[in-house]
Every structure is written in structure tokens, then in C-alpha cells.
């Protein structure tokens, strides 16, 4: 069955947006990945940098490469610092996050991308794996047309103040709290 031909609209003025997706609910990364999917649909190039994930499998690890050549994906972390019996010391988590900041800086100013997603950077900032001046520098370096998406719990008030759009995902109910294990394709 053929899809209908739909009219595409354009804004009067193109502008890159800073979007913060935060809160204690499930779906911050998933929301950002939805934006990645939309961007690819518009033929845009996206760079996704995951600051903290990296110690367990998630579906996006295999799905994102299927969006090549439009999406470049970097897993820079060693898992969530200080939780779930993560074996790596704070110093190693901080060193990885500092490498991710350098990579983000490079990708933001490269001119190669229409969107850069900094997944879990808010957590990295809250845990002092990166510093507020470093995150604010990334916002300052952002070219006029680049969309910059920052995800993770506990977004810093200064980062939210500088953003064009802030969404807070609030947990109302979660299957895990009912004793249901995380499910592939939904939770990871």
C-alpha cells in the first residue's frame, strides 16, 4: 500500500534549537531517538553521543547503524556511575565523560551535522563527571542552525534557562515498580 503524498511545510526562518529532555520518568533517550528519526526523515545528519551508557545492551546499539549514513553514533561511557554495581571508579567515569565533552565540542563545530544529541549529559553534570562551564561552552559553540539535544535526569537550571524547549518526563507509574522486569524494545 502506497503512502499518501503529504505537503511539507517550511518555517519562515530556520533556526537550530536547544532542547532539554529531563525528569525522573522513563523515555528521555527514547524521545531524543524519536527526534533523530524525524531528522533523518528530513535528510538531516545527526551525531548521537551517549555520555554514560555502555555497560549493557540496548536496542539502539543495533538499530542506529541501520540509519547510516545519516547518523553517527558514539558510546563513550562505561555505564551509570555509582549504581547497579558498576565496577569502574569515579575517576575512570570522569575521564570518559571528559573525552565525550571533547568529542561533542568537535562534532558541534564541525559543520557536518544538523543535530547533535548529548544523551545523559545532564546526569554526567549532576554527578560532576563534567562541569557546568563545559556544558555552557557547548551551548555557546552551537552554530545558528544546529539542533542540540541534551538528555538525562536532573538538568541544571542554567542549562534549562538557555534552552529553547525543555520537557520534563515525570514518572506516573512504571512496570518495574510492580515487579516486572525490563522488557526488550520497550525498556532497553
Which residue is it, cell 571533547? 102
The answer to whether residue 11 is domain-embedded is no
Domain count, the chain: 1
Contact 151, 32 (CB under 8 A): yes
CATH number, domain of 48, equals 3.40.50.300
The answer to whether residue 69 is domain-embedded is yes
Nearest-angstrom CA–CA distance, 150 and 135: 10
* Residues in CB range of 169: below 8 A, 6 or more apart: 21, 22, 23, 24, 25, 26, 27, 28, 31
The answer to whether residue 184 is domain-embedded is no
The answer to whether residue 187 is domain-embedded is no
Domain that holds residue 52: 18-171
What is the β-pairing status of strands 18-22 and 115-119?
A: unpaired
pLDDT for 131 equals 98
pLDDT for 84 equals 63
The answer to whether residue 7 is domain-embedded is no
The answer to whether residue 8 is domain-embedded is no
Strand partners, 74: 49
Per-residue pLDDT of the chain (188 residues; tens, 9 = 90+): 788 888 888 899 999 999 999 999 999 999 999 999 999 999 999 999 999 877 778 899 999 999 999 999 999 977 776 666 677 888 988 999 999 999 999 999 999 999 999 999 999 999 999 999 999 999 999 999 999 999 999 999 999 999 999 999 999 998 988 899 989 888 88
The answer to whether residue 94 is domain-embedded is yes
pTM: 0.92
The answer to whether residue 188 is domain-embedded is no
Strand partners, 5: none
Amino acid at each position: 500500500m502506497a503512502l499518501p503524498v503529504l505537503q511539507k511545510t517550511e518555517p519562515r526562518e530556520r533556526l537550530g534549537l536547544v532542547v532539554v529532555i529531563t525528569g525522573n520518568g522513563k523515555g528521555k533517550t527514547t524521545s531524543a531517538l524519536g527526534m533523530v528519526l524525524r531528522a533523518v526523515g528530513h535528510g538531516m545528519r545527526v551525531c548521537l553521543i551517549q555520555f554514560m551508557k555502555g555497560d549493557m545492551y540496548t536496542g539502539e546499539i543495533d538499530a542506529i547503524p541501520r540509519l547510516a549514513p545519516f547518523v553517527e553514533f558514539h558510546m563513550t561511557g562505561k555505564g551509570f556511575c555509582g549504581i547497579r554495581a558498576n565496577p569502574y571508579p569515579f575517576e575512570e567515569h570522569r575521564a570518559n565523560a571528559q573525552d565525550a565533552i571533547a568529542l561533542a565540542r568537535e562534532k558541534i563545530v564541525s559543520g557536518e551535522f544538523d543535530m547533535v544529541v548529548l544523551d545523559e549529559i545532564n546526569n554526567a553534570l549532576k554527578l560532576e563527571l563534567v562541569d557546568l562551564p563545559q556544558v555552557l561552552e557547548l551551548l555557546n559553540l552551537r552554530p545558528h542552525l544546529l539542533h542540540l539535544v541534551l538528555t538525562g535526569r536532573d538538568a541544571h537550571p542554567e542549562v534549562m534557562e538557555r534552552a529553547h524547549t525543555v520537557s520534563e518526563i515525570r514518572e506516573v507509574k512504571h512496570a518495574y515498580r510492580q515487579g516486572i522486569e525490563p522488557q526488550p524494545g520497550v525498556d532497553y
